[in-house]
Structure 1
Amino acid sequence: MRFDDVLFFPVTVFAESGAVDAELTAEHIRSRLPDGPGGVFAACGTGEFHALSAAEVGVVTRAAVGVVAGSVPVVAGAGGPLGHAVECARAAADAGADALLVLPPYLVNAPMSGIVAYVEAVIAASPLPVIVYHRANARLDEQAVARLAANARVVGFKDGVGDVGVAQQLVRAVAASGRDDIALFNGLLTAELTQQAYRALGIPLYSSAVFAMAPKVAKAYYRAYESNDEARRLELLDRFYLPLVRLRDRVPGYAVALIKAGVRLSGLPVGSVRAPLVDPGADDLAELQRILAIGEELVA
C-alpha cells in the first residue's frame, strides 16, 4: 500500500443531537479531495476516535469510503480497550476501509510482549492491513518492531513519541527486517513543525491535521517540503504554523478542537467537539481566525 502526498485526517461531524452526521462528514471529506490528499485517515485522532463507539467508527468509515470511491486509500482507527479495538477493526472492514491505524490500548501499561499481542489481536480481527501507532502507552522497542514487521499484514509504523533517538532505532529495525514496503509516518501534533527533522531520520510521511481546515496551506507546505524550497517552507512555518502551535499549546486538546473550529469558520457546520475536549473560547477563536487569514494570504 502506497501513500503519496499530504495525508488527510478529517474531523467527524456531529449533529445538534450529538449523533454522527454521516452526510456532512462525507461533504467535509469531499470538499478536500480537489486539493489532492494522498490518503484519508477517517475516525482517527483528528476525527475524535477517543469519543466514538465502534458502530460510529463504521459510520464514519463508510462515509469516507463512499465519497473517496477508491481514489486514495481510506484508513480507519482501531484502539482502546481490546474488545472495542476488535469491534472497530471489524466495523471498518465491513465499511470498506483499505487499512487500519492501530491506536494504543486503554490506560494500562504493559510489557512489550503484551503490546505486541494487543496489535496481533487487532490484526486477527479483520482481513485489513494495519499501520501501528507508536505512542503513549504503546511504545515499541526494536525487538517489537522486528516481530511486527515480520507479519505481512503490518504495512506501516507511525511515531507519536517524538524521541528522535528512538525513532531512528525504529527506522533501522524496519530496514533490518528486509521489508521495503513498510510506510513510516510522523504522527506528532502539527507534524509540519517537525517533519524536516523526521525526513532526515528516514521517515518521509506525516499526518496533517491542518489539511482538514486549511487544505491549501497544508498543500503549499507539502510542496515546499517535497521540492526543498526552504524559503517558502520557512515562510509558511514562521507566519502560519508557529503561531498556530502557540495557540494550540494554550489548552489541552486544542490540537483537535482548533481544527474543528477552523472547519466551522470555513462555513461547514461540523458541530462541537465531544467531551472531554472543549471548543475554543471567543478570544482563541478570534486568534485562530487571524491565523487562518494569514494562511489564505500566503497561498492567494
Structure 2
Amino acid sequence: MTHDHPAASERAASRPFGRLLTAMVTPFTADGSLDLDGAARLATHLVDAEGNDALVVNGTTGESPTTTDAEKEHLIRAVVEAVGDRAQVVAGVGTNDTRHTIELAGAAEKAGANGLLVVTPYYSKPPQGGLLRHFTAVADATGLPVMLYDIPHRAGVAIATDTLVRLAEHGRIVAVKDAKGDLTATSWVTSRSDLAIYSGDDAMTLPTLAIGGVGLVGTSTHFTGALTKQMIERYDAGDAAAALALHRRLLPLFTGIFRTQGTILVKAGLKASGLPAGPVRSPLVDATADEIAQLRADCTAAGLDLP
C-alpha cells in the first residue's frame, strides 16, 4: 500500500514522540560513577529550557556501552521522575544480542519508559532476515512503542527499505531514527509506510522534513534545542525560508559537535555552561583544550554563547 506525501497537519498527528528529542548524555561524578541527581537536573534543563518533547536515555551518546544494566534502569527512573509529567522518556535498549535486548526492553518498561530505541545489531552484520526477526522479537516482547535506529556507519549494516516497510506492519514499530544519510532511501520509506522518520543527524533535519520526516533525535540540541525546534515549527507552518535561515545559522554547531565523538564535546560544553556532565568513561577521553576552543568558536558562529 502506498501513501501520499503527508501534509503538515498529518505529520503532526503521526509524531509519536513529538518534534524534538535529544539523545541525552549520562552525567557521571568526578570518580566516574553515575550521577543521578545530575541526570535529573540535566533532563529538567533539556525539557524546560531547550524545549525537548522527549529525551532518549541510554543511547550511544549516553555512553550505553559502558553502563551496566542496573545503571541503565536507575537512569531511566531518575529521568522519568524528573520530567515524565511533561516529556516522554525513550530508553535505548539495543544490543547485538536479541535476548539481552528483550531483557533491557522489559526493564525499561518496568522503570517507566514511554518508548524504546532499538539500534541495528552492531558488528555481527546480520542479514536482512535476521534484522527482521530481531526487531520483531523485541517489539513482540514489549507493550511500548518502538523507534528503530538505522545507523549503518556504526552498525555495519543498513536496514533495507523493504525490511523497514515490513517492520512498519508491526503495531508497535512506529518510528525510525534515520542516520543512514540516504535521502532517496528515506523517501521510499516515507512513501511506502506510515513510519515516523526522525533525523538521526542534526544537519539533515531540514532535508528530512522536506521528504516527509517529522523531527530530530539530536546531539547538538543539548545547546541548540530551542532554535532547532523553532526551525521545525517554521517548516511545519509553511515558512520554508525562515526554516532555512535557522538551518544555516545552526549549521556550524550541527556539524561541529561531531568534530570528535559527540559525547565528548557535549560534556565539555555542558561543563563550561555549569550543567551536569562529568567525565566520559573509557574508551572515550575528555575533550582537549584545543577541542574546547573550537567548540566555543562553533557556538559563536551559530550565534550561541558558551562560557
- Ranges in structure 2 where 5+ consecutive residues have no aligned partner: 1-14
Q: Give the paired residue count.
A: 286
- Ranges in structure 1 where 5+ consecutive residues have no aligned partner: none
Answer yes or no: is 1:267 the counterpart of 2:274: yes
1:245 to 249, 255, 267: 255
The answer to whether the 8 A contact 1:217-1:295 is kept is: no
Helix, strand or coil: the match of 1:271? coil
Helix, strand or coil: the match of 2:283? coil
- Can you list the C-alpha shifts for 1:85-140, whole angstroms capped at 9, x where unaligned? 22321221111001101012131111101011111222234322211112223522
Task: Measure how far apart 1:49 and its partner are.
Answer: 2.3
User: What is the distance in 2 between the residues matched to 1:294 and 1:138?
Assistant: 35
Answer yes or no: is 1:61 the counterpart of 2:76: yes
- Residue of structure 1 equivalent to 2:298: 291
User: What is the distance in 1 between the residues matched to 2:254 and 2:205?
Assistant: 16
User: What is the distance in 2 between the residues matched to 1:31 and 1:243?
Assistant: 19
Q: For 1:152-231, what aligned pairs fall within 5 Å after superposition?
A: 152-174=171-193, 179=194, 182-188=195-201, 191=202, 193-227=203-237, 229=239
The answer to whether the 8 A contact 2:20-2:217 is kept is: yes
Code of the aligned partner of 1:210? S
The answer to whether the 8 A contact 2:220-2:253 is kept is: no
1:37 to 52, 56, 61: 52
For the structure 1 residues 71 and 44, does the alpha-carbon distance in structure 2 shift closer, same or farther, using more than 3 Å as the test?
same
User: What is the distance in 1 between the residues matched to 2:235 and 2:282?
Assistant: 35
- Can you list the C-alpha shifts for 1:236-282, whole angstroms capped at 9, x where unaligned? 44454225624633x3x1x2211121111110241122222222210
Code of the aligned partner of 2:216? Y
Answer yes or no: is 1:23 the counterpart of 2:37: yes
User: What is the distance in 1 between the residues matched to 2:24 and 2:289?
Assistant: 23
For the structure 1 residues 295 and 141, does the alpha-carbon distance in structure 2 shift closer, same or farther, using more than 3 Å as the test?
closer
With normalisation by structure 1, the TM-score equals 0.85
Identical pairs, percent: 29
The answer to whether the 8 A contact 1:14-1:20 is kept is: yes
User: What is the distance in 1 between the residues matched to 2:151 and 2:181?
Assistant: 9
Answer yes or no: is 1:115 the counterpart of 2:131: yes
- Residue of structure 1 equivalent to 2:17: 3
Higher relative contact order (CA 8 A, sep 6+): 2
For the structure 1 residues 240 and 171, does the alpha-carbon distance in structure 2 shift closer, same or farther, using more than 3 Å as the test?
closer
- Residue of structure 1 equivalent to 2:66: 51
User: What is the distance in 2 between the residues matched to 1:124 and 1:230?
Assistant: 39
Task: Measure how far apart 1:289 and its partner are.
Answer: 2.3
Answer yes or no: is 1:85 the counterpart of 2:95: no
For the structure 1 residues 265 and 221, does the alpha-carbon distance in structure 2 shift closer, same or farther, using more than 3 Å as the test?
farther
With normalisation by structure 2, the TM-score equals 0.83
User: What is the distance in 1 between the residues matched to 2:243 and 2:149?
Assistant: 27
User: What is the distance in 2 between the residues matched to 1:229 and 1:284?
Assistant: 35
For the structure 1 residues 296 and 29, does the alpha-carbon distance in structure 2 shift closer, same or farther, using more than 3 Å as the test?
farther
- Residue of structure 2 equivalent to 1:71: 86
